Structure formats: structure tokens, C-alpha cells
Structure 1
Amino acid sequence: MNGATPLHSIGELSARTGVPVRTIRYYSDTGLLPPAHRTPAGYRRYSDAALGRLHLICVLRELDVDLTTVHRVLDGDLSVAEAAAAHAAATALQIRELRLRQSILHLVARRGTSPEETVLMHRLARLTSDERRRMVADFVDRLTADTPGTRSANAALRAALPDLPDDPSGARLAAWTELAELITDDGFRARMAHAALPPSDEDALPGVAPETVAKLIPFVRQTVAAARAAGIDPAGDDAVPIVDAVVERFATALGRPAGPELREWMARQFDAGHDPLVERYWRLVWTVNDWQVVPGHLPFQPWLTEALRRPRPDLGPRTGSASVSRGSSG
């Protein structure tokens, strides 16, 4: 074989590539690395081209490309670029699955759930996009059927449907899981049906004449939104002039003294017009959809109620009329 290209044994290929002899033999047996020649004794011999072929096999396998795809590349049925693109897409799915698994594990660890809750959380987190949408649609359909006559509120509900992406962050997945637990609870649906969807100004003061509410609530909502946007703590001193201005506006509109009794009445009314669990629903929807929380869209009642009930030595006790002063115009 004078002038012929030298051939290599399996052992030589192994020494030059670091691939175990057993693996090279397996590639050869499956047709990935056919020998160029066999000796009279049956030993396989490989050309330099086989050495390059083995290097490519090793790279593709290291990238976790399956053997069937490697075969197609080596046979010329698929280019390396096409194989890489297909495998990149498959790898993205694997990464998404691993992220989902990691998020579920973090969620279970953080919440300290029971075995039953863990199973439920896992099932809710792994629903497909279509299954999630059907679950939300069923909740909304049943809810709006329970609340006829609240067309604008129901429209707002349908305009803000939670939509979890296929590759969510841990925070969005956690919010979706909690939200899914809420909307599958008949008791919560009853609370949503009882509350405004979302809370509207007409429902903020139960039992008060609509024309009076129309004068007061927009002012209150804007005032509290501005305070929230400024980062004012309802229990802090900076909240005092804000809540005083609100109370004065109520005293004028209702013809009542702007004293402790009016403040406590306002706090009770706002408590009655606010459901913390319904507010939680809306916050979860915003998180799932990755929407920015706008202070003006938050229920104003919790902030104002806390500010109203903040101890005020300058106002005296809440009982009796002796403490009624502060220049009420009512």
C-alpha cells in the first residue's frame, strides 16, 4: 500500500481523541464511524477522515444532540447549522422545564406547604396555557353570571384576565399558583360577587346617597393615591393634614362635626366597602401579567382607615360630643 493514506487502529483513535475504545467500537457498530478497512484477522482500521468524523461526533454528543440526529448530519441529510437550530429549540424547552421545576421547589420551600398542598401547587403550576385560560374563563363566566347588572365592573374584570407566560419568573409563577387556588374556591367567588369588580366609587360608602358619594369618593381616591405615590405612611405624622382634609370634606358634605365620631364612622364605612381578599386577587393579577402597580388603581380604603384610626391626642376621645370641634362647617 505504497503511498496510501495510513490507517489507524481503534486504540490509536482513542489515544488521539481521548474517547474510550468501547465507545469508538459502539459508534462503529451502529454505523456512525464505519471502518475504512479490516485486516485479515478482522481488526478495524480507520482513515484520517474517520478521525475528523469522530471529533464531530464527540462535539455533537457533548452538546447532547441525540444519535439519530448525529446520523443524519454525518449522512448529509441535515446540516450542522440545521441540527444546531433544532437542538437549540429543544434545549430551550428543557431550560424552561428546569426553571419551572426550580420555581416550584422554591415556592414549596418558602410556603412550607403540606404534602396535599404541594401536589396541588405542582398541578396548578404545570397547567398548559390553554388549561390556564379555560380555568380563568370558567371563573369569570360563573362570576359574571352571579352578578347581573354590574356591566361596567364585569367588563373591567374581563379586561384584566391573568395571563401567565410559558416561561414565567418565579414571582409570576408564585402569583399564578396563589391566584389559581383562589379562583377554584367557591367561597372566594362568592366574595368576589359580593364585592365590586373591581371596587367602584359607588360602592365605597354603603348606605350613603349616590349624589353624596359622587362628591366625596373621587376626591378621596385622588388624595390617597397622591399620598401613596409620595410614600406617605398612614400611621406617620405626614398623613395628619391629608386625613384632616378628607374628614373636613366629609363633614361639609354630610353636615356633621369633623370630630372623632365622624372619623370612626368613616373608618367603619370604608371597612365595609373593602374586602382584603378581593384586593389580593387584583394584586396577584397585576403580578401575573407583570403590570406596574399604579397607586390610583389600588383600593384607598386600607390606607385611609389606618390613617383615620391613628391615635390623635389632640382630638380627644372618640365617644361623646365634647370633643367635636376643629371648626366643622356642618
Structure 2
Amino acid sequence: MAADGTWSIGELAARAGTTVKTVRFYSEQGLLPEAARSIGGHRRYWPEALGRLATIRSLRALDLPVAEVRRVLERDELDGPLEDAVARQLGQVGEQLAALRWREAALRLLHECGPAERAERLRLVGAVTAPPSTDVIARFWRRWLPARMPRAAVALVLERTVPQIPADPTPEQVLAFARLHAMTRGECEGGDRGQPAAHRSGRGFRPAVLYAGLDEAYALAAPAVRAGRAPGGGDALDCFVAAYAAAGGGARDTAAFRRGLGPVLAADPRIDRYWDLVAEIAGPGEVTPGAAHAWLVAALAVPLG
């Protein structure tokens, strides 16, 4: 220690249990202020630098980037900036773990399949990022929905139809998602799949009313679908029919309306493959909107008791 109470860079490094190179790096990054320079131009530090250096090293041990460390140190109180930095780092680590879990499941999928399947599965899985994005699937639905749907209504449909990525996927879920990604990407890149009759309705059709009503009907039907009950009448079917009646201009739910609605819905283009894959991704016990819709359409054909 010099007469003025300062330490050399070597003394500070020795007391901190680190190297001169490390102390110099943090000084050059502006994280560790110098007290002064010696006549020979060497860095000198106040003893308080030891505590600051310990804080810097602790933050770096958490893998916080230098820029994050600087933001934390620029404030006199650590709690707020440190909490923000830790939250951001947690988010990044979570993304990295999700990517690793996805890659592990994808590798297991390729490792455990036979040679005849490996090339196709490699092509499917290789087209999906890790962790995967659902953007392609969302574009598929935006393209498929009626034009000029209100933003809130579109958001509701996307929330219900775009599958959540499993936090810890199985190889089978990875394969199902890869197939779903390939299917929806093909539709977005020029597929010409027909639209349901409701989407082709003329003036006065209110798609937001339809999809809000369908969402409620699917929720009501889900317990029956999950329990394996046969399609039939009840609140779910009443809500389902009411959604189509209200969306089409306020028609009344009559026996004649139901007789006409059934064949129209039965003739609609089906995307059963989509919902089968979504069910595989979601796992056992989940009832997809597609499964609920099919149950309700079948219920329309059941004669009134």
C-alpha cells in the first residue's frame, strides 16, 4: 500500500484472489474506477475497490454480460437494477433450457427410429427452430379466417387453435409439431384449401359473434368429449346452434334451422389432420376445438328425443 492509502493493480488482484489481467479488463471497461495513476503511469486503487471488484465478479459468475453489470453498478442501490438484470438473465436461461430440451427430444426421435424413417424425420425436424416458433401456424389461421375479423376476435381464435409448445417435449411431440409446422407452412405458401360455408356468407355475417359463441360451445362440450359420451343435445349444442344463428343475422334456433345447419357443417372442408396433430402435442386429456366441433356437428344429426 502506498503512502496515500492506494493499492497497485497487483495488490488489488492478490487481495481479491484474481489476476492482474482480470482487474485490468474491468478497469478498461469502466467498471472499476481508478483512484489515480502513479508517476510511471500504473493504475492505483482505493481499498473500496476490493468490494466493488467482488460485486463485479459475483455478477459475472451469474453470466451477466458486461453491459448488464455496468447498468447495475451505475446505481447506488443494487436491488432494483440487480432484480431487473437477474430477471432478464432468467429469461435467457429459460430460453436456452427450452432449446436444449427440444434438441434432446429431437435427437432421441432420430436415434430411436429405424433407418427407413430417419431421412424424412430429419427433414421435418430440421425445418423447425429450437425452441420452435408457432408463427407459421398463426399465419395459417390468419389466412384461413374470414377477412376483416376484429383484432380481438382473431386473438381469441389464435389462443384456442395454436398449440402451446411443451416445456419438456417427448420425441413424439416433437414429431407431431414438426408435421404440423410442415402442414401449415405448405398452406401458407400457396395451398388453396376451401373455406367453411360460414366464411363465405354475404353481407350481415358477423364472424366475431360466431367465434365467440363457438368458443363458449366448445368449452361446454369439452367434458362430454373428454368423458367419451355420445353426441347429443344439451347446453353445449344449444350454444353451438345459437352462435351460427346470431352470426348469420339473428335467425331463430328452430328445428328447421338445425336441419339446414347440419348438412352445411357436415359438408365443410375438414382439417382433421391438424387437430389430430394438435392433440398429440397437447397430450392426453386435452380436448381440442376440432374435437369439440366434430362432436357438436355429430350431435346435430341426433334426432330430438
Report the TM-score, using the length of structure 1 for normalisation: 0.47
Pair 1:169 & 2:168 matched = yes
Q: How does 1:1-330 map to 2 (within 5 A)?
A: 6-76=5-75, 79-111=78-110, 112=113, 114=118, 117-125=121-129, 128-138=133-143, 140=144, 162-165=161-164, 168-171=167-170, 172-183=173-184, 225=228, 281-289=274-282, 292-293=285-286
- 1:73 touches 1:83 (CA, 8 Å); kept in 2? yes
- 2:6 touches 2:44 (CA, 8 Å); kept in 1? yes
- Unmatched segments (≥5 aa) in structure 1: 145-157, 194-220, 228-277, 301-330
Quote the offset at 1:54 in angstroms: 0.5
Quote the offset at 1:58 in angstroms: 0.5
In 2, Cα distance between equivalents of 1:91 and 1:123:
27
In 2, Cα distance between equivalents of 1:110 and 1:180:
16
Say if 1:290 and 1:125 are closer, same or farther in 2 by CA, change over 3 A.
farther
In 1, Cα distance between equivalents of 2:133 and 2:48:
47
Quote the offset at 1:182 in angstroms: 4.1
Matched residue, 1:273: none
Say if 1:166 and 1:176 are closer, same or farther in 2 by CA, change over 3 A.
closer
In 2, Cα distance between equivalents of 1:99 and 1:41:
52
Report the TM-score, using the length of structure 2 for normalisation: 0.51
Quote the offset at 1:30 in angstroms: 2.8
In 2, Cα distance between equivalents of 1:159 and 1:43:
62
Task: Tell me the alpha carbon deviations over residues 63-83 of structure 1, each in whole angstroms, 9 at most, x when there is no partner.
Answer: 122212322332338845324
Amino acid at match of 2:140: M
Matched residue, 2:250: none
- 2:124 touches 2:179 (CA, 8 Å); kept in 1? no
SS of residue matched to 2:7: coil
In 2, Cα distance between equivalents of 1:10 and 1:74:
20
In 2, Cα distance between equivalents of 1:131 and 1:77:
46
- 2:9 touches 2:45 (CA, 8 Å); kept in 1? yes
Say if 1:119 and 1:64 are closer, same or farther in 2 by CA, change over 3 A.
farther
In 2, Cα distance between equivalents of 1:130 and 1:39:
59
In 2, Cα distance between equivalents of 1:160 and 1:46:
57
Quote the offset at 1:105 in angstroms: 3.8
In 1, Cα distance between equivalents of 2:74 and 2:158:
54
Task: Tell me the alpha carbon deviations over residues 267-302 of structure 1, each in whole angstroms, 9 at most, x when there is no partner.
Answer: xxxxxxxxxxx76643432343457257x97x99xx
Matched residue, 1:232: none
Residues matched between the structures, number: 208
Quote the offset at 1:225 in angstroms: 3.8
Say if 1:292 and 1:120 are closer, same or farther in 2 by CA, change over 3 A.
same
Quote the offset at 1:49 in angstroms: 1.0
- 1:33 touches 1:54 (CA, 8 Å); kept in 2? yes
Amino acid at match of 1:282: W
In 1, Cα distance between equivalents of 2:159 and 2:275:
9
SS of residue matched to 2:135: helix
Say if 1:169 and 1:287 are closer, same or farther in 2 by CA, change over 3 A.
farther
- 2:34 touches 2:43 (CA, 8 Å); kept in 1? yes
In 2, Cα distance between equivalents of 1:159 and 1:10:
59
- Unmatched segments (≥5 aa) in structure 2: 147-156, 195-223, 231-270, 296-305
- 1:160 touches 1:285 (CA, 8 Å); kept in 2? no
